[in-house]
Amino acid sequence: MCGIFGYIGKKENSLEIVIKGLQKLEYRGYDSWGVATEIDGQLFIEKKVGKISEAKTDDFHDKKCQFAIGHTRWATHGGVTDINAHPHFSSDKTIAVVHNGIIENYEELRDELGRDNFISQTDSEVVAQLIAKFRKEMSFKDAVLAAINKLKGRYAIVVMNVGENYLIAARRGSPLIVGVGDGEYFLASDIPAFLEYTQNVNYLDDDEMVIVDGNVEFINLTTGRSVEKRLINIDWKAEGAEKGEYDHYMLKEIMEQKDSILRAINQDTDEIMHIAQQIKKSRGCFFSGCGTAGKVCMAGEYFFSLIANRHVNFAPASEFPVYHHFLRPESLLVVVSQSGETADVLEAMDAAKSKNAKVLSIVNAEGSTIARQSDFSLHIKAGPEKAVASTKAATSQMALLMLIATAMVDELQEGRRQLAEVASKINDMLNPRFLTYIKAVAEKIKDHENCYIIGKAENYPMALEAAIKIQEVSYVHAEGFAAGELKHGPIALVTDGTPCIALVANDEVKNDTINNTIELKARGAHIIGISPEKHEVFDDWIKVPDVGIASPLVNIIPTQLLAYYIAVLRGLDPDMPRNLAKSVTVK
């Protein structure tokens, strides 16, 4: 959602180092940016609206200091202004904080601390003011601990205190990584920000704090005890992290899902509840989209059935006009589109409007044609998606549909909490070791020309979507099936060594899916299991977190990575597959 970067070490150009690090994190937020350090015993802060890429390191060349913190912002609480930009600081200008996440009880804390003490509209400023309050009575370390114990919500923070030559950072739900260099340390939201300096990292886990000076000390926030961390060497080259930090936009956008899901669910509560009421009172609710967005709509059918006990109808946008005779003024059409310009979706909307039905759109492009022509539109906030194969937009769209389903049964806040937990688990899943393993699996199957994917219930649409991804970028013939449909024909396609991917969740249909997988194995299939739990039928097991009904959000990501790595290993460009365009604006 936002980019954090901190440096402490032997170099005196720490501000320049922080600026460069933030520029490599610009994809995480580009509304505004800021840096802070201590110079001559005083807090120095510079922050501006605009892109960090426009900042010039030469402007900070004469600012000599050996530690600094910085932030590049994607606005959530408060408008895009210089004052709302990070770092935020205490009234006495002794504490500076950069923050990623949402402090859920910030209004309560503002009241407690006195609203007259605040100058910004953000939730983040309460962290600086709270630490400063406790700092009057205790050490810097203890003040940070005391403040954190009062925070509710999800956060990654880095804090500095004038007069103290060290940094403190903490995390709950938002990513934060420690880079360990030669006599220097880096704190960042993502590894590529400091790859030119070091490939050695410590992962900060949830409810942990780290004190960084000449060493690093990790502390469990629950017990207050020190935690031993294993130093991990990341086998990434700095050259491969240039221009978007990844070799291809597709991989970059897959990795961004740990943040884009959080942005998707950060919607106005009143708007979500209004949409839920519109769906409730409609007589005939239809979901429609094309390609990947269509598979998202199919998943939405299951979400609304399982969560909201509500029947909705799905039809591909290109087929939707056929159903026009079912529409009436009380009907509601919910369309999903990444670009907001999809021609078939616009035609489906025309069919609905011809019957005076209302249209709701879920898009990734504010001001697009679909958004403008809708009665109501929601922006998924996924950020630019440049690879033709949609990845982060798909999971953002699914997360938003799930959120609406929870609102249908007055469980919006719990739904938001659960989806935030899903995003946190995806963040932990998407680590370099996970990617290396999936690439090794891709190496085993890259030369096969056929691949089949099975799933059941809400993972059936993900089997179809996984096939789309593999088809799009690797040109492998891939098909997705409902797991129970195998015995009715498709199993005849399986021969010795045929790659078959099984999407399995810990749910009431797990045993059925495993039994169908065993049937494939009996015909000689090479089974790749994507599941929270290992099963003996799997030849290769890709472990995913157990997230209940949200399993489609985590199960689809390994298939995106498999598609990506198969394409790369076959010498293809996954960003620009043949015969395909990002936005299909013609019929």
CATH of the domain at 305: 3.40.50.10490
Q: Residue 418 pLDDT more than 50?
A: yes
- Give the pLDDT mean for 480-490: 87
Do 187 and 202 lie in one domain? The reply is: yes
Do 359 and 452 lie in one domain? The reply is: no
Q: Over the chain, what is the mean pLDDT? A: 89
- Output the pLDDT for position 356: 95
Do 238 and 255 lie in one domain? The reply is: no
* Cα–Cα distance, 166 to 185 (Å, whole number): 11
- Output the pLDDT for position 565: 98
- Output the pLDDT for position 240: 36
Q: Residue 586 pLDDT more than 60?
A: no
pLDDT confidence bin for 510, thresholds 50/70/90: confident
- Give the pLDDT mean for 341-346: 83
- Output the pLDDT for position 362: 94
* Cα–Cα distance, 220 to 227 (Å, whole number): 6
- Output the pLDDT for position 582: 55
Do 395 and 456 lie in one domain? The reply is: no
Amino acid identity for residue 587 in this structure: K
pLDDT confidence bin for 236, thresholds 50/70/90: low
Select from 391, 367, 392, 388 the least CA-distant residue to 377. 367
- Give the pLDDT mean for 326-332: 92
Do 335 and 357 lie in one domain? The reply is: yes
* Cα–Cα distance, 408 to 403 (Å, whole number): 9
* Cα–Cα distance, 143 to 416 (Å, whole number): 30
Torsion of Cα atoms, 282 then 285 then 289 then 292, to 10°? 120
Do 327 and 394 lie in one domain? The reply is: yes
Extended beta strands in 276-331, E state: 285-289, 313-314
Structure tokens at 222: 């629950």
Q: To which residue do tokens 């200091």 refer? A: 65
DSSP code at position 420: H
Q: Which of 218, 245, 272 is the last residue of a domain?
A: 245
Select from 379, 346, 362 the least CA-distant residue to 584. 346
Do 455 and 489 lie in one domain? The reply is: yes
b/e burial code for range 69-89 (CB count within 10 A of at least 16 → b): bbbbbbbbebeeeeebbbbbb
Structure tokens at 342: 């999809």
Do 392 and 488 lie in one domain? The reply is: no
Do 493 and 346 lie in one domain? The reply is: no
Do 230 and 285 lie in one domain? The reply is: no
Which is the catalytic residue, given 63, 64, 439, 582?
582
* Cα–Cα distance, 128 to 119 (Å, whole number): 12
Q: Residue 275 pLDDT more than 70?
A: yes
CA angle, residues 221, 223, 229, in degrees to nearest 5: 70
* Cα–Cα distance, 465 to 555 (Å, whole number): 11
Q: Residue 30 pLDDT more than 70?
A: no
Structure tokens at 323: 């159903």
- Output the pLDDT for position 381: 87
Main-chain dihedrals φ then ψ at residue 88, nearest 5 degrees: -100, 155
Q: Residue 578 pLDDT more than 90?
A: no
Q: What is the CATH number of the domain that holds 171?
A: 3.60.20.10
pLDDT confidence bin for 423, thresholds 50/70/90: very high
Do 191 and 288 lie in one domain? The reply is: no
Burial class (CB in 10 A: 0-12, 13-18, 19+), 242: middle
Do 176 and 30 lie in one domain? The reply is: yes
pLDDT confidence bin for 3, thresholds 50/70/90: confident
- Give the pLDDT mean for 283-288: 94
Number of domains composing the chain: 3
pTM value is 0.64
Structure tokens at 490: 């498709």
pLDDT confidence bin for 414, thresholds 50/70/90: very high
- 49-53, 215-219, 397-401, range with the lowest pLDDT: 49-53
Burial class (CB in 10 A: 0-12, 13-18, 19+), 323: middle
b/e burial code for range 122-151 (CB count within 10 A of at least 16 → b): bbbbbbbbbbbbbbeeeebbebbbbbbebb
pLDDT confidence bin for 352, thresholds 50/70/90: very high
The percent of residues in the chain predicted with pLDDT above 70, rounded, is 95
* Cα–Cα distance, 395 to 292 (Å, whole number): 10
Q: Which of 227, 245, 263 is the last residue of a domain?
A: 245
- Give the pLDDT mean for 482-495: 85
* Cα–Cα distance, 278 to 364 (Å, whole number): 21
- DSSP H helices, 409-481, are 412-429, 432-445, 460-474
Active site residue 582: yes
pLDDT in tens, 91-149: 999 999 999 888 989 899 899 988 888 899 888 999 999 999 999 999 999 999 999 99
pLDDT confidence bin for 235, thresholds 50/70/90: low
- Output the pLDDT for position 372: 76
Q: To which residue do tokens 């059925």 refer? A: 512
Q: Residue 330 pLDDT more than 80?
A: yes
pLDDT in tens, 437-467: 999 999 999 999 999 999 999 999 999 999 9
* Interstrand relation of 526-531 and 540-543 (parallel, antiparallel or unpaired): parallel
Residue with the bigger pLDDT between 190 and 241: it is 190
Q: Which of 430, 464, 485 is the last residue of a domain?
A: 430
Q: To which residue do tokens 């030849």 refer? A: 539
Range of the domain at 114: 3-245
- Output the pLDDT for position 241: 40
- Give the pLDDT mean for 368-393: 86
- Give the pLDDT mean for 276-286: 93
DSSP code at position 80: S
Contact 308, 353 (CB under 8 A): no
Which is the catalytic residue, given 2, 65, 285, 500?
2
